[in-house]
Amino acid sequence: MATITTSTVNDYSHLDPELKRLTQLWSENASIDKALYQKYDVKRGLRDANGRGVLASLTRISEVKGYTVDDNDTIPCEGVLYYRGYDVREIVKGVLSEKRFGFEETVYLLLFGKLPTRGQLDEFREMLNEYRHLPKNFVRDVVMKVPTSDMMNTLARSILTLYCYDDRANDTSPENVLRQCLQLTVNTPQLAIYSYLAYRSARGDGLYLHRPQPELSMAENILYLLREDKSFTELEARALDAALILHADHGSNNSTFTNHVVSSSGTDTYSVIAASLCALKGPRHGGANIKVVQMMDDLKASVDDPTNESQVREYLQNVLDKKALDGKGLIYGMGHAVYSLSDPRAEVLRTFVQSISKEKGLTEEMDIYQTVEKVATEMISQHSGRPTAVNVDFYSGFLYKMLGLPYELYTPLFAIARMAGWSAHRMEGLVESSKIIRPACKCIEKRRPYVPMNER
């Protein structure tokens, strides 16, 4: 099987000096005086001066609450997330107490705005099962080709290619878009997991591909497809189901806003979803879940005692000073554009990892996470002058690690869940994005007369 190795990638190193020179030229003409942002009242990152998001749309799908506003002052509060008006913690609690799997119900709720009755849910699951099919030879011809360690890119490629197999790919009528969204939602687990198994096999591990089972929930099918012996425990499947519910939607987050921007141009569903995937993989968004686990491994490798608070503080200071980890100055899994005192999803995930870590004998690892949480919260809050808390990505990777899931699939798991939200927003955008999204930008370059070549 083809893998990317340096010998198959063209060598352009002879162009490096020229590339360096052009990069230097670019940097001489790239800077913008920071003071101008204030002068022109630019909403950087589409935020106002308080850091609050600019109001750019209305939605009925989900609400993210991280502060209240009093006389234009931002007052931090405990975070709450509502799907169609229902507190997500209540949804997780409800399905757990009724010993059901809740992700499919969440997809239904986000898309159609109502909690399904048992009959409606059964019919919906049957419909999803019918749609759970990839085109003939798609796995062989697309998914398994050129396997790489980045499943998000492979997933985006697969989804873009599915366009070619759809006779009504460009039809943006609600009924057709709904069909496309349901097909993509139910097939994303296979696309992601088969890509991972192809990558593993290219590294020398044996290849196996199981078929999803109609009687299993989305969470159970993910574990079934991934494990060579197809086995999983009830606790593992329920924890994964809860994680899928918690990741299903989140207001006007970066990848969902991308969804709206791309949708508003009138393009097809495959292009919209691929664009959202590309946004989600970024380390400041969904890609942070891999980064957290890498940060924890780096911490353990860098200090003598990772449970010792002062050693953890020293390491995290090095991260903030860009001297450790990836040199970006970010402590991953910390902070949020909306939440202040807490991210409700991280609260639920913390409870899960606490009990699973006890069961798996990993309480010391849990202690390290909690020490990092405590110290990083203090450090970032002090720096920003605002309360900061762990976000959804802080504990999700630890949960997946305890479930034995490979880190290459952490962000794809986020994407599998977020397909629900992207689908609901894609549908909502069909009516709401009748106006093409096109913010303004002020050009600060001076106007100049064109100079003929022989006069430069």
Ligand X SMILES: O=C([O-])CC(=O)C(=O)O
Ligand Y SMILES: CC(=O)SCCNC(=O)CCNC(=O)[C@H](O)C(C)(C)COP(=O)(O)OP(=O)(O)OC[C@H]1O[C@@H](n2cnc3c(N)ncnc32)[C@H](O)[C@@H]1OP(=O)(O)O
Give catalytic residue positions: 336, 393
238 binds, options ligand Y, ligand X, none, Cβ within 5 to 8 A by partner type: none
CA angle 195, 197, 202 (to 5 degrees): 95
332 binds, options ligand X, ligand Y, none, Cβ within 5 to 8 A by partner type: ligand Y
CB 392, CB 246: distance < 8 Å: yes
How many C-beta atoms lie closer than 10 Å to residue 97's C-beta?
8
How far apart, in whole angstroms, are the C-alpha atoms of residue 222 and residue 230? Answer: 10
Pick from 445, 353, 454, 434: nearest CA to 172: 434
Q: What contacts 142, CB < 8 A, 6 or more positions away?
A: 157, 158, 161
Instruction: Tell me: does residue 52 bind ligand Y (CB under 6 A).
Output: no
Footprint of ligand X on this chain (CB under 6 A)? 64, 250-251, 253, 337-338, 391-392
CB of 351 to ligand X, least distance (A): 18
CA angle 186, 189, 195 (to 5 degrees): 135
Which one of 208-216, 219-227, 330-338, 367-375 is the stretch in contact with ligand Y (CB under 6 A)? 330-338
CB 225, CB 233: distance < 8 Å: no
Residues constituting the chain: 456
Select 241 or 365, whichever has its Cβ closest to ligand X.
241
Pick from 131, 193, 98: nearest CA to 405: 193
143 binds, options ligand X, ligand Y, none, Cβ within 5 to 8 A by partner type: none
Q: Closest-CB residue for ligand X?
A: 253
CB of 422 to ligand Y, least distance (A): 13
Instruction: Tell me: does residue 76 bind ligand Y (CB under 6 A).
Output: no
Which one of 60-68, 205-213, 389-397, 424-432 is the stretch in contact with ligand Y (CB under 6 A)? 389-397
Instruction: Tell me: does residue 128 bind ligand Y (CB under 6 A).
Output: no
CB 240, CB 189: distance < 8 Å: no
Residue choice 92, 95, 191, 331 for contact with ligand Y (CB under 6 A):
331
Instruction: Tell me: does residue 135 bind ligand Y (CB under 6 A).
Output: no
402 binds, options ligand Y, ligand X, none, Cβ within 5 to 8 A by partner type: none
Residue 53: strand, helix, or coil: strand
CB of 282 to ligand Y, least distance (A): 8
Residue choice 332, 398, 400, 410 for contact with ligand Y (CB under 6 A):
332
Structure token pair of residue 290: 């891999």
Structure token pair of residue 3: 């893998």
Instruction: Tell me: does residue 44 bind ligand Y (CB under 6 A).
Output: no
How far apart, in whole angstroms, are the C-alpha atoms of residue 10 and residue 15? Answer: 12
Select 157 or 336, whichever has its Cβ closest to ligand X.
336
Residues that bind ligand Y (CB under 6 A): 51, 284-286, 288, 320, 329-337, 380, 383-384, 386, 391-393
